Amino acid sequence: MVTRWLAPLDRKLLRDLLHLRGQIAAISVVVLCGVATVVAMRTAYRSLSLSQASYYAGYRFADVFAQVKRAPEPIARRVAAIPGVTAAQSRIVVEVTLDVPGLAEPATGRLVSIPDRRAPMLNDLHLRRGRWIEPGRRDEVLASEAFAAANRLEPGDAVDAVINGRWQRLRIVGVALSPEYIYEIRPASLFPDNRRFGVLWMSRDALEAAFDMKGAFNDLSLSLARGADQPDVIARVDRLLARYGGLGAYGRDDQLSNRFISDEIKQTRVSGTIIPAIFLGIAAFLLNIVLSRLVATQRDQIAVLKAFGYSNGVVGLHYLKLAFVGLLVGALGGLALGTWIGALLNRQYTQFYRFPVFAFELDATALGLAVLTTAFAAGIGALNAVRRAVALPPAEAMRPEGPGQFRPGIVEWVRADRWLALPARIIARNLERRPVKAGLSVLGIALAIATLVVGRFFLDAIRYIADVQFREVQRENVTVVFNQPRSAQVVHELAVLPGVLHAEPFRLAPARLRFAHRSRRVGLLGLPQDGQLRRMIDRSRRIVALPAEGLVLTRKLGEILGVRPGDTLAVEFLEGDRATRAVVVSGFVDEMVGISAYMSGRALHRLVREGGTVSGAFLMVDALAQDSLFGLLKRMPAVGGTVSRDATLASFEQTLQQSIGITMTILVGFAAAIAFAMVYNAARIALSERGRELASLRVLGFTRREVTTMLLGEQAVLTVAAIPMGLTLGYLIAVKLAGLYQWELFRVPLIISRFTYAYAVVTVAIAAILSGVGVRRRLNRLDLVQVLKTRE
Amino acid sequence: MEAVFRAHGLSKVYRMGEVTVPALRSVDLELYRGEFVVMLGPSGSGKSTLLNILGGLDHPTSGSVHFLDHDLATGGDKGLTRFRREHVGFVFQFYNLIPSLTARENVELVTEIAERPMTPEDALRLVGLGERLDHFPAQLSGGEQQRVAIARAVAKRPDVLLCDEPTGALDYETGKLVLEVLERVNREVGTTTAVITHNSAIAAMADRVIRLRSGTITEVRRNERRASPGELSW
């Protein structure tokens, strides 16, 4: 017997724990969910940032990048001599059309040169499988792992590429990763499409020969010394490259892959901070209520202990222990579950981003904070109740509690008692007499409902974004991109291909938008004013008309640049004659995905002073004819690449599923558990508070059913009252979160579906009904004689 | 006189873990219509157990107990609930009023589910509380609360009124007041009344006094004359 060695009070503790196991378990569940959320999210965030940082450091990810048309090699050495630059690596980077086995449509390959020998290089590669390129072998390439995986390519396989107008076979000898292409994305595209776009690393020799770049380069990566003045370096690089057709150097912030991945990591930080904070706050609050009520039901026992001479301190400690056992079980469970989920999320992210390094760090501070918060809430709750109990002289506390202090109140004042049946009057007066307690119960259940709404809100928002973006904004199902600007005539040729129902041209001009000291590189998209396929649609699904003149910016881009409609921007075109023009911002469009700048095609042509050249076309294609059309497009020399909307949609959904979908699914599960624990505890405590009264009614001849109705009726009233409050609270938290989830990649709209509201209500209703069934079982076992004898 | 309760060989054994505690040992007992019985005994004598069995709150371990033609020994929960609802009025030491209901409503609680009840007002007038109908328990003294409990118990015109230490929580004066009410109800309404108490002074107001000790009836005595509660003192 373990109990023999325990102090009597601890023996009582042990037995109380056994007796109250249902309620203690419910407390543990609440703590567990709160702590697990914090630990999982913070751990995932910390581990992901750490993985990114060590990947960047270990593989020498560059700090500054520049593209240029064609610069002689000595320029690279002059760049390397700029103060603050520690290394400069010149490269040849070209995009070519690929014919990938098993893929109907043409793919785009980005060929990136690597030094022949394994000399130290910036943006170093991590070889996953296969081997390095052998010197002198000009047809050997390393393929990026994402591209290889999407197309099931392995070392030994080959892809065909159009190199300088001729098909050439490239042999894949290895599969590699690069910190530069964690997020492997085609320029001006939002989501990776790993089947149709991939990076291939080739020997510098081969690329020099094929593209006539002997002794020259078109791409430069720099690493900077700690504390170097990056804007100054960029300005000097731009000056050096200007006469060779430099496209403007930029830092990591503008590097596509890094920007997206940093955005996503930032996003996990918000998910990992705000959401756990909300969960923890709710858990702490619920814990406080539950414990104070639980301890309050032990009033007579506290009195007896005091009568025997136990001090207030000892009694207080006893109940703190009771509280802390539930807490400890919850915290340990939360730690274990949170670490497990954190590791799971981390592995998910690491696989998704294909990090070659795998860092895992438990966020001990967050864990400590979570445990302290819940402990504090539990302690305050328990101690408050103990303090109230010990404030009474023991003799008084041992006497049955006097009849509740009921006085005529609102119910009587409005004469509601006339039309309320007696059980209803009991319920009404109970609520009226303890409005604070009733209010807290309502608030507790409401918070549980709110967490359910918040958890599902993100899933709704993602669905909404996908729906608007891919059904209303992008009505084309195929986008064709030309390998260089072409005459508008090409679009007519596309329009008559079999299977093409409708074609509209677009002009995409790479440009840097500058306003005051802020700037951003974007693809300036020129669209036909009367276009039907690509439309600008704001988050309320309104179509925004394209003005004849001026720029329309995604609102987020406007915020990044700090402009307002009517302001004049400097547009520095990054191709052609690289002119800088002043353009008025005529309006914003409240788009949810990406950042874009739109102009009417005509206005854009006037601006770059060219005829009706186009960069590509949006096509509406008969789904049945799609594959044969891709076959034709593959053979058209003008076509640099094609983008399929369905593939982009799939990629979008995968991206968001990976980043927030899983998290939200877990949260919804936690929210349901909290809701259940909360409602169950409220009903159980109500039973112990009212047991005596209910037993009296049973003795007077009331049936079980009638007595159950009286007890559960009150719970039902509280639950029903909590529903509108919970839905409102959930909405308000969603408003706050939607305000925080405003990234470049996407912005979460405040969309909560009816299904989500219904889901929250139904989940709580089910929790209430199951709790009711549990309580009813206890009510049936109520020992009438015993309850009448025991004093409260 | 007609016997309303008939108990034969009534035993009750409580099982507390591995120990069995006999509370009643083979008790034979009859209660007659309209009589006022006081059951006397120290604590642990089995008087409460006996009252609980007669009131349909507990089952005997063996033996038979009948109320008229109701078999209380074997009745299920449903049957016992109906028996309590239709025939029994209870008065407890701690009143057990519903704190959220007024005096009138506490009585109504019972008259609503009874077949031919008094009005709550009449019941409360009977116990001398005609003026305090709309007071909540918290606004009433202990004696007043106990009188509300008595009004609640008698309002349905029960066949039998069972009182468990009705004066136990009251002071001397108030206790006597409550006993007067019980006596009046018995006299005016003719309700069979059983009062259990350890206060032997109360025995003088009974028609019959039944003494219990250690689970058996040690004495049944008939009083020649019922003393009025005013004559009692302790």
Q: What is the CATH number of the domain that holds B210?
A: 3.40.50.300
Whether residue A660 has pLDDT greater than 70? no
Q: Which of A402, A701, A703 is the closest to B138 by Cβ?
A: A402
Mean pLDDT calculated for residue range A327-337: 88
Chain mean position to CA A140: 39
What is the ipTM score, two decimals? 0.72
Å between A695 CA and nearest CA of chain B: 9
Starting at the edge strand found earlier in the chain, the sheet holding B192-197 runs: B88-91, B160-164, B192-197, B36-40, B208-213, B216-222
Q: Which of B52, B96, B101 is the closest to A785 by Cβ?
A: B52
Residues of B in contact with A784 (CB under 8 A): 57
Residues of A in contact with B88 (CB under 8 A): 701
Q: How far apart are CA A293 and CA A304, in angstroms?
A: 19
Region class of A453: left (phi > 0), else alpha (psi between -120 and 50), else beta? alpha
Q: Chain A within 8 Å of B2 (Cβ-Cβ)?
A: no
Summarised one tens digit per residue, pLDDT across range B174-186 is 888 889 888 988 9
User: Do A701 and B101 lie within an 8 Å CB cutoff?
Assistant: no
Are A56 and A217 in contact by the 8 Å Cβ rule? The answer is no
By CA distance, what is A698's nearest residue in B?
Answer: B81
Mean pLDDT calculated for residue range A254-262: 85
* Beta bridge partner(s), residue A523: A510
Q: Chain A within 8 Å of B85 (Cβ-Cβ)?
A: yes
Q: Which two tokens stand for residue A50?
A: 């750490």
Whether residue A368 has pLDDT greater than 70? yes
- pLDDT category, A396, cuts 50, 70, 90? low
Are A619 and A633 in contact by the 8 Å Cβ rule? The answer is no
Are A45 and A269 in contact by the 8 Å Cβ rule? The answer is yes
Chain B stretch 106-125, residues whose beta carbon is closer than 8 A to a beta carbon of chain A: 108-110, 112-113
User: Do A425 and B105 lie within an 8 Å CB cutoff?
Assistant: yes
Q: Report the SS3 class of residue A157.
A: strand
Q: Chain A within 8 Å of B218 (Cβ-Cβ)?
A: no
Whether residue A792 has pLDDT greater than 50? no
- pLDDT category, B80, cuts 50, 70, 90? confident
Supply the angle between the helices A299-307 and A312-353 in degrees, to the nearest 10.
130
Q: Chain A within 8 Å of B54 (Cβ-Cβ)?
A: no
Å between A710 CA and nearest CA of chain B: 12
- pLDDT category, A417, cuts 50, 70, 90? low
Q: CA A178, A183, A189: angle at the middle one, nearest 5?
A: 135
Give the domain ranges of chain A: 110-208, 472-651
Q: How far apart are CA A595 and CA A555, in angstroms?
A: 8
Q: How far apart are CA B2 and CA B73, in angstroms?
A: 20
User: Do B77 and A704 lie within an 8 Å CB cutoff?
Assistant: yes
User: Do B100 and A430 lie within an 8 Å CB cutoff?
Assistant: yes
Q: Which of B84, B100, B139 is the closest to A426 by Cβ?
A: B100
User: Do A699 and B81 lie within an 8 Å CB cutoff?
Assistant: no
Mean pLDDT calculated for residue range A439-453: 85
The CATH number of A110-208 is which of 2.60.40, 3.40.50, 2.40.40, 2.40.128?
2.40.40
Q: What is the DSSP string of chain B?
A: --EEEEEEEEEEEEEETTEEEEEEEEEEEEEETT-EEEEE--TTSSHHHHHHHHTTSS--SEEEEEETTEETTT--HHHHHHHHHHHEEEE-TT----TTS-HHHHHHHHHTT-SSPPPHHHHHHHTT-TT-TT--GGGS-HHHHHHHHHHHHHTT--SEEEEESTTTTS-HHHHHHHHHHHHHHHHHH--EEEEEES-GGGGGG-SEEEEEETTEEEEEEE-SSPPPGGG---
Are A299 and A389 in contact by the 8 Å Cβ rule? The answer is yes
pLDDT at A403: 61
By CA distance, what is A784's nearest residue in B?
Answer: B57
**Cβ-based neighbour number of residue A432 at 10 Å:** 17
Summarised one tens digit per residue, pLDDT across range A628-643 is 888 888 777 778 778 8
Residue, of A308 and A484, whose pLDDT is higher = A484
| Residue B214: domain span | 3-231
- Closest by CA position to B165, among listed B95, B234, B93: B93
| Gyration radius of chain B's alpha carbons | 17
User: Pairing mode, if any, of strands B88-91 and A639-644?
Assistant: unpaired
Å between B112 CA and nearest CA of chain A: 9
Å between A404 CA and nearest CA of chain B: 5
Total domains in the fold of chain B: 1
Residue, of A525 and B105, whose pLDDT is higher = A525
Residues of A in contact with B134 (CB under 8 A): 408
pLDDT at A105: 76
Q: Which two tokens stand for residue B93?
A: 């030491």
Residue, of A749 and A399, whose pLDDT is higher = A749
Are A557 and A524 in contact by the 8 Å Cβ rule? The answer is no
Å between B207 CA and nearest CA of chain A: 26
Burial of A414 (0-12, 13-18, 19+ CB in 10 A): exposed
Q: CA A72, A76, A77: angle at the middle one, nearest 5?
A: 115
Q: Which two tokens stand for residue A314?
A: 């000892």
Q: Which of B85, B98, B108 is the closest to A701 by Cβ?
A: B85
Summarised one tens digit per residue, pLDDT across range B136-164 is 888 888 889 988 988 988 888 899 999 98
Portion of chain A with pLDDT greater than 90, in percent? 27
Å between A375 CA and nearest CA of chain B: 35
Supply the angle between the helices A8-19 and A312-353 in degrees, to the nearest 10.
50
By CA distance, what is B52's nearest residue in A?
Answer: A785
The tokens 């007024």 sit on which residue?
B102
Q: Which two tokens stand for residue A643?
A: 């983008």
Å between B231 CA and nearest CA of chain A: 31
Question: Which distant-in-sequence residues (6+ apart) come within 8 Å of A291 by Cβ?
Answer: A27, A323, A378, A381, A382, A385
Summarised one tens digit per residue, pLDDT across range A77-115 is 999 999 999 999 999 999 888 888 888 777 889 999 998
Whether residue B217 has pLDDT greater than 50? yes
According to DSSP, residue A473 is labeled: I
Q: Which of B96, B113, B139 is the closest to A701 by Cβ?
A: B113
Residues of A in contact with B145 (CB under 8 A): 403
Mutate to test the interface with B, among A434, A699, A706 (most CBs of B within 10 A): A699
Which chain A residues touch B if contact means CB-CB below 8 Å? 400, 402-408, 417, 422, 425-426, 429-430, 433, 692-693, 696-704, 784-785, 788, 791
Q: How far apart are CA B114 and CA B85, in angstroms?
A: 7
